[in-house]
């Protein structure tokens, strides 16, 4: 079956379905769900019930006591996570979140309203953990935990990208992403997980990165980037790996050295660090900042994140800089310190170039590359020629996690305004904390899930279409590896003519090197356009 065309997909039916929401039956229709995890990935990670199965199978081969396992798991988490119990209890069903989820906007399926997504879990909570639910059952909004309910959880908790947009609008601050996270944890207990989450997690566990690249492959890729930069700029940069005693450990998402357009961001970092003479090192083991544990369980987050501090300690660095990645930063900013810290063997980060003390990173000892670069620009430590990016009319997509999980709104914009002459914001209700997700985050960026991804990405694509049509925007900059992978196909589908780049690719283009020769191409190897583009068309 071929993928639906945009003109078909855009006809969204928002009429409520005739079926009662309590009916859990789900149709696993091709294009709207992700395939199950391969047993070998579960085995690598020591997860329960590895087996061959698929969501569309009638028999999911659950363990005989699956129901007890789920309810025990729920009880344990209700006791452990106060937020979970609170989110189960306090929703007043005001509906403020209902139309805020990109999956609801793009699909019209009411079970993709955050309130109803969480209600799939709450109904079971009421049935087994509240007196009203035990006594009055359906009348109190309670449902028995059945295999159909479990299947429904799987379908809808893997149609949530854990983007947290809904939480911005909830008067009680209910974070449905956290309900999804618990839902996925519970599903894990009986071996129901998706491959695009567990395979990267298993690879990370074995080799330090999602792609399963061995240390020599990592080194080859960095060496290749160094050679390529020499061809473009005439300058040979150093890119140290595992250098003991370096001042700073630099950790990026592995897509930066193997994906496109991510790779051009890597070239940008390398040029920047060369220009300022930074004493830094990569690690061949912490060769991945991304953490697919976030999409699996708290335990998995902790296990995969441990390498960051372990490598910082082994290499004897003073502090850490992290590259352009979305969920990596949610983990680093919100979980790392409590899960794997305190990192009291590191120093509070101070820029060796400007002397700025990054007070915000005093505890984690890890600074975002955009914070670091914005500070360099602010202190006039970089010579920049923004006209080298003149062929681009740029907009900025706030990636969900750096935006909503760490409030990183201004630094990337400050950098972009200094390295580009043509920058245009998307509409206000689609940026900063209200940003719309790419629709493919949290492990949902698979080919088999294409229709749902396109539906989920529709609101973001729509805002991009607005600035394309109004200002002639042809480039979207972002600071997330998943965005860089999933937005190009989304735009090809909904709004052709938009390229995607990392912020540091554009920095690398604009950077005038002290020892560089006249540049004739940008970091993509394409000729630099010096002429002034036409004025905006509207
Ligand atoms: S906005 Fe908050 S309280 Fe209102 S329905 Fe949504 S989750 Fe419940
Ligand atoms: S976290 Fe994002 S994807 Fe999940 S329900 Fe909320 S808005 Fe939708």
Nearest ligand, CA 94: 1
Of 274, 485, 268, the C-alpha closest to 389 is 268
Distance (angstroms) between ligand 1 centre and the Cα of 122 equals 13
Which residue of 83, 99, 109, 114 sits with most ligand 2 atoms within 8 Å of its CB, as the best mutation to test the pocket? 114
Which residue, judged by its Cα, is nearest atom 8 of ligand 1?
91
**Residue-wise pLDDT tens digits, 280-314:** 999 999 999 999 999 999 999 999 999 999 999 99
Q: Angle at CA 207, nearest 5°, toward 408 and 371?
A: 15
The 3-state DSSP class for residue 36 equals strand
Q: What is the mean pLDDT of residues 3-7?
A: 94
Residue 1 pLDDT exceeds 80: no
Closest atom, ligand 2, to C-alpha of 180:
4
Nearest ligand, CA 455: 2
Tokens at residue 136, please?
A: 């009055």
Which residue, judged by its Cα, is nearest atom 2 of ligand 2?
163
Alpha-carbon span 161 to 14, nearest angstrom: 21
Which residue, judged by its Cα, is nearest atom 7 of ligand 2?
101
Nearest ligand, CA 112: 2
Which residue of 116, 168, 174, 175 sits with most ligand 1 atoms within 8 Å of its CB, as the best mutation to test the pocket? 174
Closest atom, ligand 2, to C-alpha of 177:
1
Distance (angstroms) between ligand 1 centre and the Cα of 172 equals 7
Of 488, 401, 448, the C-alpha closest to 158 is 448
pLDDT at 530: 53
The reported pTM is 0.96
8 Å CB contact between 488 and 512? no
Tokens at residue 335, please?
A: 């979980």
Alpha-carbon span 61 to 43, nearest angstrom: 16
The 3-state DSSP class for residue 342 equals coil
Distance (angstroms) between ligand 2 centre and the Cα of 311 equals 34
Measuring from each residue's beta carbon to the nearest atom of ligand 1, which residues come in under 6 Å? 91-97, 114-115, 170, 172, 174
8 Å CB contact between 521 and 233? no
Which residue, judged by its Cα, is nearest atom 2 of ligand 1?
170
Alpha-carbon span 46 to 70, nearest angstrom: 18
pLDDT at 516: 79
Distance (angstroms) between ligand 2 centre and the Cα of 445 equals 15
Which residue of 94, 110, 171 sits with most ligand 1 atoms within 8 Å of its CB, as the best mutation to test the pocket? 94
Closest atom, ligand 1, to C-alpha of 93:
5
Closest atom, ligand 2, to C-alpha of 400:
2
Alpha-carbon span 382 to 179, nearest angstrom: 44
Residue 536 pLDDT exceeds 50: no
pLDDT at 489: 98
Strand-strand pairing, 499-502 and 366-368? unpaired
Which residue matches tokens 């209200």?
Answer: 434
Residue 529 pLDDT exceeds 70: no
**Residue-wise pLDDT tens digits, 20-38:** 999 999 999 999 999 999 9
pLDDT at 2: 83
Closest atom, ligand 1, to C-alpha of 170:
1
Closest atom, ligand 2, to C-alpha of 118:
5
Q: Between 533 and 450, where is the model more confident?
A: 450
8 Å CB contact between 467 and 473? yes
Dihedral sign of CA atoms 33, 38, 39, 40 in order: negative
Which residue, judged by its Cα, is nearest atom 5 of ligand 2?
114
Alpha-carbon span 207 to 18, nearest angstrom: 50
Distance (angstroms) between ligand 1 centre and the Cα of 120 equals 14
Distance (angstroms) between ligand 2 centre and the Cα of 180 equals 9
Alpha-carbon span 218 to 224, nearest angstrom: 10
Alpha-carbon span 466 to 479, nearest angstrom: 21
Closest atom, ligand 2, to C-alpha of 113:
5
Measuring from each residue's beta carbon to the nearest atom of ligand 2, which residues come in under 6 Å? 100-101, 103, 114, 117, 160-166, 176-177, 180
pLDDT at 535: 45
8 Å CB contact between 264 and 475? no
Report residue 528's pLDDT band, with 50, 70 and 90 as the boundaries: confident
Percent above pLDDT 90 for the chain:
95
Distance (angstroms) between ligand 1 centre and the Cα of 165 equals 12
Report residue 250's pLDDT band, with 50, 70 and 90 as the boundaries: very high
Distance (angstroms) between ligand 2 centre and the Cα of 474 equals 28
Nearest ligand, CA 180: 2
Nearest ligand, CA 117: 2
Nearest ligand, CA 165: 2
Nearest ligand, CA 122: 1
């Amino acid at each position: 079956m071929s993928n639906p065309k945009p003109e078909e997909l855009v006809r969204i039916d928002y009429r409520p379905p005739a079926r009662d929401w309590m009916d859990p039956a789900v149709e696993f229709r091709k294009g709207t769900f992700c395939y199950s995890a391969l047993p070998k990935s579960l085995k690598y990670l020591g997860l329960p019930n590895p087996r061959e199965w698929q969501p569309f199978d009638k028999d999911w081969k659950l363990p005989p006591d699956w129901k007890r396992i789920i309810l025990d798991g729920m009880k344990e988490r209700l006791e452990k996570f106060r937020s979970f119990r609170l989110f189960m209890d306090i929703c007043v069903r005001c509906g403020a979140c209902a139309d805020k989820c990109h999956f609801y906007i793009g699909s019209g399926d009411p079970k993709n309203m955050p309130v109803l997504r969480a209600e799939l879990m709450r109904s079971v909570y009421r049935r087994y953990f509240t007196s009203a639910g035990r006594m009055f059952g359906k009348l109190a909004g309670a449902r028995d935990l059945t295999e159909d309910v479990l299947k429904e959880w799987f379908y809808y908790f893997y149609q949530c990208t854990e983007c947290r947009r809904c939480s911005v609008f909830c008067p009680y601050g209910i974070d449905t992403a956290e309900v999804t996270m618990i839902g996925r944890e519970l599903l894990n207990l009986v071996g129901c997980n998706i491959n695009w989450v567990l395979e990267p997690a298993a690879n990370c566990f074995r080799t330090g990165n999602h792609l399963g690249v061995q240390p020599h492959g990592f080194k080859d890729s960095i060496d290749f980037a160094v050679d390529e930069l020499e061809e473009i700029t005439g300058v040979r940069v150093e890119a140290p790996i595992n250098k003991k005693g370096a001042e700073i450990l630099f950790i990026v998402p592995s897509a930066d050295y193997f994906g496109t357009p991510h790779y051009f961001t890597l070239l940008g970092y390398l040029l920047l660090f060369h220009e300022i003479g930074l004493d830094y090192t990569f690690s061949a083991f912490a060769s991945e900042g991304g953490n697919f544990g976030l999409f699996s369980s708290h335990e998995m987050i902790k296990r995969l994140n441990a390498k960051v501090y372990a490598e910082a300690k082994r290499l004897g660095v003073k502090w850490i800089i992290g590259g352009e990645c979305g969920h990596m930063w949610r983990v680093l900013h919100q979980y790392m310190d409590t899960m794997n810290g305190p990192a009291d063997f590191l120093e509070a980060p101070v820029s060796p170039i400007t002397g700025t003390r990054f007070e915000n990173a005093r505890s984690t000892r890890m600074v975002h590359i955009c914070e670091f670069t914005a500070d360099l620009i602010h202190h006039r430590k970089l010579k920049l020629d923004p006209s080298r990016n003149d062929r681009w009319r740029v907009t900025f997509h706030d990636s969900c996690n750096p935006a909503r999980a760490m409030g990183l709104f201004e630094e990337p914009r400050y950098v972009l305004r200094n390295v580009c002459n043509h920058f245009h914001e998307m509409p206000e209700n689609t940026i900063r904390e209200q940003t719309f997700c790419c629709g493919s985050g949290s492990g949902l960026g698979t080919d088999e899930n294409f229709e749902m991804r396109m539906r989920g990405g529709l609101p973001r694509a729509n805002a991009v279409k607005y600035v394309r049509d109004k200002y002639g925007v042809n480039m979207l900059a972002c600071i997330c590896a998943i965005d860089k992978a999933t937005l190009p196909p989304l735009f090809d589908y909904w709004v052709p003519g938009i390229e995607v780049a990392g912020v540091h690719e554009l920095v690398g283009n604009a950077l005038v090197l002290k020892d560089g020769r006249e540049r004739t191409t940008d970091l993509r190897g394409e000729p630099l356009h010096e002429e002034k583009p036409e004025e905006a068309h509207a």
